Structure 1
Amino acid sequence: MRENKKLKISFIHPDLGIGGAERLVLDMAGALADAGNEIKFITTHFDPTHAFDELKNGKYSVDVFGDWLPRSVFGRFQALCAYIRMVYLSIVYILFFRNYDKQDLFITDLIPVANVFLKLANEKVIYYCHHPDLLASTPGGMLKKIYRTPIDWLEMKTTEQADIILVNSQYTASVFHKTFPQIEKDIQILYPTIASSYQDTVKKLTYMKPIEELVPDIKKDGKKIVFLSLNRFHPAKRLEFAILALARLQTIVSKDDWEKIYLIIAGGYDPQSSINARTFNRLVDLTKENKLEHKVIFLKSPNDDLKAELLNSCSCLLYTPIKEHFGIVPLEAMLVSKPVIAINSGGPRETVDHGITGYLCEPSGDSMADFMARIVSENYEIMGARGKKRLDEKFSYSSFQKCLQNVMKKLLQQNVKKSE
């Protein structure tokens, strides 16, 4: 097979909804399609009303197999059902549909069990590990351990079947090696890139709107210093750090500076989610306990246009998760030349250059507040400009596309050598 041949590439993904994993595989699909390759998706579930625009508008063809199979049994055994659905998809597709539209390459993620069936069919497979799935399982008793042990073993065994394994950061690579020490195969890092839809939205921003125009709760008098948090209302995102930091910041800065400072906490909020509701209510209570009601503004589920406007008009992004696999929001802030204060953990350690494009703080309100005080007193616009330069050099779409193309080239070369 010639390296410059345009390929037919299929993504096998369990559920084409709206999430970080779906966003990443769509960005991979876009980069490969831009290079002239033909792309399609194979999945167990697809709802066009609950999907990203690229799938809504029919940019890629989508084949669905096994949607009739249950996702759970009385709310339990979700992992087992997910594996069964993917096994069904793999067998049905390979036996009855594969030969009608022969593909050159398959890219899988999330549930690696498809890898073993594809390799039995002598297909070329790239597996993208967002994060080992077994680590997402909550601890339980002996019955939970008996249930999870074969699933965790199957994840390890089927993951290593792929020709190439990709991860999203050096942090995830280290977690992968600790979780699957039996897998001796080299893994490669493919840093995620900013969604093309967000980049298009940013390009349409003609000027920096006054923040009070976007958020009427902020006073209109004088210059403002606005810290912004963008993350869904979920306990894992540790949004309380931002509120505790603001409370501490009040004791550090001058009274005049304090009058200028606001915190906006904006993020995804599903009215049907009890976790979202509980998290939101706890944050509101924490704000009241610290008497910060006039300084903290909550925004539920802002649309993409408003998120871009908020990032463009804020002073600094606060990124609060601990052990985040990668974290795309800091890159979105860097795209609009904003400094980032993030927890010194996980993916942000690779995107935020401490003291140059932002700051990495310890997981506490006090530590975050110390760096927020620096933003108040320093020329944070210079720091934001450095962040934009770092984004262009290391995490741009062109860097993402080039890295992905190199992965494809390596796989093709491997198969040429095997055939010689």
Structure 2
Amino acid sequence: MQKLSVAIVHPNLGIGGAERLVVDTALSLQQRGHRVVIYTMHHDPAHCFEETRDGTLDVRVVRSWLVPESVGGRLHILCTVLRSLGMARRVATDREQYDVVFVDQLSAPIPLLKYAHAHILFYCHFPDYLQAPHTTLWQRLYRAPFDLLEELTTGEADQIVVNSKFTQSAFRNAFPRLSVVPRVLPPAINLAAYDTTPPADDPAVAMLHMSRQCILSINRFERKKNISLAIDALALLQNRSSLCLVVAGGWDVRVPENIEYLHELDAHARGLGLSTRTIAPRSASSQALKLLPSNHVRIPVFADDIKSSDSVDVLFVPSFSENQRAHLLASARCVVYTPTNEHLGIVPLEAMGMRVPVVAADSGGPCETVVHGKTGYLCQPTAHDFSAAISRIIGMSEDQWSAMGRAGRERVEAEFALDAYATKLEGIISDMIQYPTSVSAVFGVLMTMFIVCTSAVIFLCARYL
């Protein structure tokens, strides 16, 4: 394939499944000789993947100083759309010309990105329309223009891909005005990034060493991830004194839900009679430490000062480092993945890639990644079913456990390896660039301005009338 110049547009380059997809997409294209630049509205060097920090990838942060992230804790979606338009303007007016613009998650900037005269590929993780609340009348009125904006701007892309067959079905139901059927491109696992041994002298890793068997949950601290299910399942296990549930994942001081949900989970576990502890992120400021549960401990400078976690039933590791992730996946007896109707879920793939059996809800994307009885177990999202599946894995012989782990690794290598992903992506791009791209963006820009203004009026009416 001819060598291309590719811009990747992503709203927030933190730590999460979507961000991992962006990083792996950039790495796979770069390794095949393409020029790749990542544009984002937020990138914190203390809260990101190593490849975006060490110079491996070209990351350009576009800050919209005139538009805040929210207004008094409200209008998040409106502010995000406005800030994304500023980022799109930067891409379109950049001196560097691009052949392809890979737009991730947020479709609102697509009309403006047409001014870059590049082919636009939109990666839809899941329609925002299906995730946003529409309970009250004002919520429905406020969301209506944004739902329309999402559908129409998504349709402006030259090619649309989704991460699973489940998302493909949801896409068609959410956007009935669009006749296009998106292509399925599951994310990949960069196995080389996981097949590493974290430094033994890293105190952040040493704090995770324990004599108990590790049951691991990795997710952002969001209520929709249903992490309390893992805690409930642990409480039902008869041999829980020999087990420790480690709850690790994305935690951002800028996101109130992350802070609130961590406190809720800690209180929930203690309410079930489970002992808890929180390991503070190494980069946490004094202000951030105040937002953690009161039982948090800081990572010491020297390994001799480490406090043992052997007596802890539930260990919370918010904003965990890559070294901590590597250690946890290497030492886990099983990984529990608790969200229901998750559009894909990168965590089960990470676990299988590290030869760790998975227990996941029998719905959504995990049904396409986890092979029941072979690489893990798919269960009803109840504490009883999850507990039974975990108990079954804990009780396996080493040969049975290793066989299940090998099956998971083989599945990832065959279906979800980075090289296979890159080949599929190049094929989609090759098909897309054979056709001319539409460069007339006037209608799209006017449409975007109208919808944003309409949403602001609706919000003000709801707030003050």
Match for 1:286 among 253, 268, 278? 268
Superposed CA offset, 1:343-365 (max 9, x none): 11221111110011100000101
Match for 1:158 among 153, 157, 167? 153
Superposed CA offset, 1:154-184 (max 9, x none): 1101101111101111111111111112211
Q: 1:204-353, aligned counterparts within 5 Å?
A: 204=197, 215=208, 218=210, 220=211, 225-250=213-238, 260-270=242-252, 274-293=256-275, 296-301=313-318, 302-353=320-371
Q: Quote the residue 2:193 is aligned against.
A: 200
Superposed CA offset, 1:225-273 (max 9, x none): 43222223332221222222223332xxxxxx66644433333444675
Match for 1:367 among 366, 381, 385? 385
Counterpart-to-counterpart distance in 2, 1:63 and 1:273: 19
User: 1:182–1:381: structure 2 CA closer, same or farther, 3 Å change rule?
Assistant: same
Q: Return the offset for 1:46.
A: 4.7
Q: 1:167-206, aligned counterparts within 5 Å?
A: 167-194=162-189, 199-204=192-197
Contact 2:353–2:409 (Cα < 8 Å) also in 1:
yes
TM superposition score normalised by structure 2: 0.76
Q: Return the offset for 1:126.
A: 0.5
Match for 1:381 among 394, 402, 405? 402
Compute the RMSD of aligned alpha carbons: 2.9
User: 1:316–1:45: structure 2 CA closer, same or farther, 3 Å change rule?
Assistant: closer
The answer as to 2:434 corresponding to 1:413 is yes
Counterpart-to-counterpart distance in 1, 2:403 and 2:312: 26
Letter in 1 for 2:25: M
Count the aligned residue pairs: 393
- Unmatched tracts of structure 2, length 5 or more: 276-310, 438-465
Letter in 1 for 2:157: A
Q: Return the offset for 1:74.
A: 3.0
Match for 2:24 among 18, 27, 34? 27
> SS of 2:6's equivalent?
strand
Q: Return the offset for 1:307.
A: 2.0
Contact 1:39–1:61 (Cα < 8 Å) also in 2:
no
Contact 2:16–2:250 (Cα < 8 Å) also in 1:
no
Contact 1:23–1:195 (Cα < 8 Å) also in 2:
no
> SS of 1:413's equivalent?
coil
Q: Return the offset for 1:341.
A: 0.7
Q: Quote the residue 2:58 is aligned against.
A: 60
Q: Return the offset for 1:39.
A: 1.2
Counterpart-to-counterpart distance in 2, 1:226 and 1:18: 22
User: 1:206–1:358: structure 2 CA closer, same or farther, 3 Å change rule?
Assistant: farther
- Unmatched tracts of structure 1, length 5 or more: 251-256
Percent of aligned pairs with the same amino acid: 34
> SS of 1:203's equivalent?
coil
User: 1:272–1:10: structure 2 CA closer, same or farther, 3 Å change rule?
Assistant: closer
Counterpart-to-counterpart distance in 1, 2:178 and 2:152: 8
Contact 1:65–1:92 (Cα < 8 Å) also in 2:
no
User: 1:276–1:63: structure 2 CA closer, same or farther, 3 Å change rule?
Assistant: closer
Q: Which moved more, 1:18-27 or 1:315-324?
A: 18-27
Q: Return the offset for 1:120.
A: 6.3
Contact 1:118–1:124 (Cα < 8 Å) also in 2:
no
Superposed CA offset, 1:110-152 (max 9, x none): 2213322344665311011111122332235333322221121
Counterpart-to-counterpart distance in 2, 1:407 and 1:279: 39
Contact 1:330–1:340 (Cα < 8 Å) also in 2:
yes
Q: Quote the residue 1:124 is aligned against.
A: 119
